[in-house]
Structure formats: C-alpha cells, structure tokens
Amino acid sequence: MMNELQVITPEMTLAGLGCLVLLVDVFKREESNLTFWTASLSLVVVCLLVVVWRPDQPVYVFGSTFKLDQVSSLLKIFILITGLGAFFYANYYFEKFNLKQSEFYSLAIFSILGMLVLASAHSLLTVYLGLELLSLSLYAMVAMDRDSKFAAEAAMKYFVLGALASGILLYGISMLYGAAGTLDLIELKTQGMAKDSDLLLVFGLVFVLVGIGFKLGVVPFHMWIPDVYEGSRTPVTLFLSSAPKIAAYAMALRVLGEGLVGLSAEWSQMLTFMAVLSMGVGNIAAIAQSNFKRMLAYSTIAHMGFLLLGFIATSPGGYAASMFYVVVYSIMGMGAFAALLLVVSPNNSDEKITRFKGLSLTNPAASLMFLILMLSLAGIPPFAGFWAKWFVLKELVASGMLWLAVIAVIFSLIGAYYYLRIIKYMYFDSDDGANSSICWSRSVGTVFTVNAVAILFLGFFPGILMSECLKAVLSSIV
C-alpha cells in the first residue's frame, strides 16, 4: 500500500516546480533562456515520476477524491509530452519574434497541473477544480498578447463563454448531487444504476454534457474555437489544441464512462447528435477558411466529433479507441500548428493557407514532415491518423451502429479536401516570394521531425499504443 502523499508526488512536484519557474523568472538575467529550460526540465521530471509510479491496480487516496490508475498514468504521460513539445515550439517562436513572454511557461505549467488533476479526478469536486485550474490559466495565456485587438477579443470570448460553461457544468453537478447525494464517481455510478430512469439525474446529466461539450469544443458549443484559435498567438493556439484536448477526454471518460455509465442510453443519444453535427459543421466550414489557424480550428471541431463516436459505442474498446484518437490527434494537431509557427516571421506574419505555396522548394525537409502530418490528419494510411479513425469505426460497427460509421466516413472524405489542398500548395504551386526567408533553428527542426516521425511510427505500429490504451481502460474502468 502506497503512502497517500506518495501517490500524488507527480502533482505536488509539478506545483512546486511551477512556483520555482515563477521565481526563476524574477531573478534570471533578462536575456537568458533559463525560464524555458527550468519549465521543460520540470515536465521531464514529472513525466519520469508518473512513469515510475504506474500502478497495476487503481489506488484511491484523500477520501477517494483522487484516483491513480493506468488510464490516468497513460493520459498524464501524453499530457506532459505534448506540453513539452509545445514549450519547445513556444521558445522558438518567442525567440524569433523577440518577445519576453516568461509568464507563458508558469501559466502553462499550472494549466498542465489542472490537466493532471482532471486525469485522476475521482469526485465531481476534483473534476470541477481541475477544469477551473486548467481553463483559468488558458484564459490568461490567450489574453497575454495585450496589444492585439484580436487577442483581446479572443480572450474575452473565451473567458465569458468558458465561465458560462463552467456555471452550467456546476449547476448540472449540483443536480447530480441532489439526486444521488454524493460527489464520488463510484457511488454516483451505483446510484445511477439503481434508478436508471431518474429524471433528476438525466436533468443534471444534460448540463454536465454541455460543460464537457464546451471543453471538447463540439457543435453546438464550438463557437469560441475559431475566434480563440485565430486571435491568440500561435504558440498559445498550439498549446490550446494539444494537451487540453487530452484533459477534456479524461473529463468525459471520468464523468460519463465512470460516474454516469448507468445513464449511457441517455448520453449516447445526446453524444450522437453532437458528434454528427461536429463532423458536419467542422469539415464543411473548414473548406471555406482562408486563415490556416481558423481552418485547423474547424478541423479540431470535426476531430472532436469523431472522438465522441468512441464514447457512443459505450464499450471498453470504444473508450480505448477514443483514447488512442485523442493522443494521436494532440500530437498531429501540435505538429500542424508548429508548421505555421515555422513559416511566420516578424517581417511577414501572414497566416493565410496560401502561405505554404512552394514550401517544398525552399524547405524540402520541413515540407516532407508537414506532408506526413497533413496526410495523417486527413486519415490516409499508413499514418497514425488513419488508425485512430479505424479503431473508432471498428468499435462503432461492432456495437451495431453502421449508419453512424458511414456518416463518419463520408464527412472524413469531405474533410480530406482541405488537408490535401495544403499539400497541393506546398508541392505543386510555385512560391510567390513569401517563403524565401524561412529559416529554422536546429533545435526546433529536431522537435518538428520527432513530432512527424512519431506519427509515422504510430502509423506503422499502432498496436503498441492501442494495446496500452485497451489494457489501461480494462484495468481502470470497471
């Protein structure tokens, strides 16, 4: 039996190191890069701690408000890895634009702490607090670009809508508490099983689903995504679109798959509606976008809709498929935003999709990596994005929802268009002089290459990650 404090060592370490990053930032020399290195090292240390303390059996501590199991460990590892990648890209961007954005790292660390809390939440109380910690840091990070009107608008929209969604979520949680008399997810599950048609529980569930839908950014709670993604600085968008998605998945899994599994008949109906709309709106609206960030924002909406399909299957295999999907998506999404971050420069910060015209001529290596990421996002074999879709569809068909799988495939086909268009710009169009000055440092080049090669690797060996996901779900979600 592990000591209670030992179980939360990774979180405690991260909180302490977050404070250290704050202090380092105050006392370091103006021009040094110490904040970035401390922050990155913190994530590495915490990631190692999570790996070392991977349990075989679920461990409940602190009045079972905290649950350490294989699902949480696996999700935490990927949250930390994507966070680390985002730090490297952010450092490159801040250096290139000569910005002093040191609070970025400390806020991002606290946001990651919120994600870790969410990944191991085992009470609606910790779900809510983890979510608030995560979102509050993100609001500030979006607003950090103070001189930009777009960023102010984005931050305002994100904050107001996010606060509204939090309020609605909290109202739903209060209803669930009123109906079940408990915040503990396991007790909630037994209560939900006992009286499966309790109207009050369903009433609470609807509001909780709104909160989850907002965090994942699925239609009809997606309005904030394009504006926030476009308005915030590229490294913030990059961070926003990677690790928090894993945390949102964790939240959905904890609340729906664990706590309210007795109401799966109700929530899978609502999720079907949300998933189909997201895939439709996301994929079709993305075609019309001329801004690269906006296009990826709609692509995120479509991908999150696809992710929900795994939940609709309501089987351990379905949850595992969604988990695979979210991990692969966060790595791909990070890489796609990183591609934009590589081409923009202080002289030309144009973020149009036509920016990638003729990139293969000026920077063949970068465009090859970008090609891998785009093909993977489009879901073309043998890249990881294909397998992510494949596993979800397989579970969907296995649970007898063939029509939903067909709709998903049709929308994915529509979606492939706008990813392939970028590839066309890169390889078949000539450069109109915009990209002549692309330079990338060796360090960020390495990170970008690792990012793309990871997708390639997962594409050739999807079984490694998938079997881990399945093992984790089977051992944790009973």
Give the one residue of 59, 80, 84, 144 binding other proteins; rule: CB under 8 A: 144
Give the one residue of 61, 243, 327, 366 binding other proteins; rule: CB under 8 A: 61
66 binds other proteins (CB under 8 A): yes
Cβ(46)–Cβ(70) below 8 Å: no
309 binds other proteins (CB under 8 A): no
Q: Which two tokens stand for residue 84?
A: 């680390």
Residue 435 phi, psi (nearest 5): -100, 10
Give the one residue of 73, 106, 330, 412 binding other proteins; rule: CB under 8 A: 106
Give the one residue of 69, 132, 227, 395 binding other proteins; rule: CB under 8 A: 132
- CA-wise closest residue to 43 among 94, 95, 85: 85
H or E element in which residue 450 lies? helix 442-460
Kindly tell me which of 273 and 457 has the beta carbon lying closer to other proteins: 273
Residues 6+ apart with CB under 8 A from 159: 139, 143
**Residue in the structure block whose two tokens are 């089987």:** 315
Shortest separation between residue 130's beta carbon and other proteins, angstroms: 7
Helix runs in 217-263, H state only: 224-231, 234-241, 243-252
Q: How many residues touch other proteins (CB under 8 A)?
A: 40
Cβ(334)–Cβ(85) below 8 Å: yes
Compute the chain's Rg from CA coordinates: 21
Region 182-201 residues binding other proteins, contact defined as CB under 8 A:
198-200
Kindly tell me which of 76 and 303 has the beta carbon lying closer to other proteins: 76
CB atoms near residue 29 (< 10 Å):
7
82 binds other proteins (CB under 8 A): no
Shortest separation between residue 15's beta carbon and other proteins, angstroms: 6
**Residue in the structure block whose two tokens are 């309210």:** 260
Residue 29 phi, psi (nearest 5): -75, 150
Which residues share a beta bridge with 291?
352
Shortest separation between residue 149's beta carbon and other proteins, angstroms: 15
Give the one residue of 23, 44, 51, 100 binding other proteins; rule: CB under 8 A: 100
Site string for other proteins, 21-60 (x = CB under 8 A): -x----x-xx------------------------------
139 binds other proteins (CB under 8 A): yes
137 binds other proteins (CB under 8 A): yes
Kindly tell me which of 86 and 175 has the beta carbon lying closer to other proteins: 175
- CA-wise closest residue to 343 among 443, 231, 440: 440
CB atoms near residue 156 (< 10 Å):
16
103 binds other proteins (CB under 8 A): yes
Interface residues with other proteins (CB under 8 A) are: 8, 15, 19, 22, 27, 29-30, 61-63, 65-66, 100, 103, 106-107, 110, 113-114, 117, 123, 125-126, 129-130, 132-133, 136-137, 139-140, 143-144, 146, 178-179, 198-200, 203
